[in-house]
């Protein structure tokens, strides 16, 4: 099987809709119960696959899972000591302090959060650019160390994304 990380999204969408029309459960309305259930299950699996393949992060996470490449952190909502990427430790700590200040009613901390939001949006864009470059290289040469690099970038990305979500939530709660 050809495991690619770069996908032609218009072609993916075209194939998805083509298969959706063929597998849609309504087509099997007058068929046996078993055939309808098979069609429903196939349509559900197709929808899940499409959602995974159209999202570059989900696509990469799926490939890492399929190929058995471990990641340090699966769920950014479940912090585990020592797993924060070293280059982000200080910044995440500062954001947590600002978030605590805002939650305790200190409106002056909001400007610090706004600055952190801009910085982390830039970090997320840079991380996504790194991922795209790694995807291209993986598709070209298929070296296992590239998958480990992708896993590391995805772990870093999850921290950045979680920090951004927390910042946006705190800024919109005002």
Neighbours of 113 (CB within 10 A): 20
Query: For the whole model, what pTM was predicted?
Result: 0.82
Of the candidate ranges 75-79, 98-102, 168-172, the one whose mean pLDDT is the lowest: 75-79
Dist CA 70 CA 78 (whole Å): 17
Dist CA 6 CA 163 (whole Å): 27
Q: What is the DSSP code (8-state) at residue 78?
A: S
Q: What is the DSSP code (8-state) at residue 72?
A: S
**What DSSP element (H or E) covers 150?**
helix 144-172
Q: What is the DSSP code (8-state) at residue 68?
A: T
pLDDT tens per residue across span 30-83:
899 898 899 899 999 999 999 999 999 999 999 999 999 887 754 544 544 456
Taking residues 109-120, report their average pLDDT. Answer: 93
Q: Which is higher by pLDDT, 55 or 85?
A: 55
pLDDT tens per residue across span 149-165:
999 999 999 999 999 99
CA 142 to chain centre: 21
pLDDT of 89 > 70? The answer is yes
Which residue stretches of 24-143 are H helix?
33-54, 56-66, 89-103, 109-141
Dist CA 70 CA 34 (whole Å): 38
Dihedral, CA of residue 153, residue 170, residue 116 and residue 120, to nearest 10: 20
Owner of token pair 């999204």: 9
């Amino acid at each position: 099987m050809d495991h690619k990380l770069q996908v032609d999204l218009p072609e993916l969408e075209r194939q998805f809709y083509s298969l959706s029309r063929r597998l849609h459960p309504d087509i099997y309305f007058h068929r046996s119960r078993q055939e309808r259930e098979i069609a429903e299950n196939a349509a559900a699996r197709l929808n899940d696959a499409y959602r995974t393949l159209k999202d570059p992060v989900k696509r990469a996470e799926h490939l890492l899972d399929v190929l058995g490449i471990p990641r340090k952190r699966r769920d950014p909502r479940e912090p585990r000591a020592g797993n924060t990427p070293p280059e982000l430790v200080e910044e995440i700590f500062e954001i947590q302090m600002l978030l605590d200040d805002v939650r305790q009613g200190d409106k002056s901390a909001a400007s610090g959060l706004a600055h952190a939001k801009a910085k982390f949006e830039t970090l997320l864009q840079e991380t996504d650019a790194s991922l795209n470059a790694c995807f291209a290289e993986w598709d070209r040469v298929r070296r296992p160390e590239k998958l480990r690099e992708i896993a590391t970038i995805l772990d870093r990305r999850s921290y950045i994304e979680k920090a951004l979500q927390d910042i946006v939530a705190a800024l919109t709660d005002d």
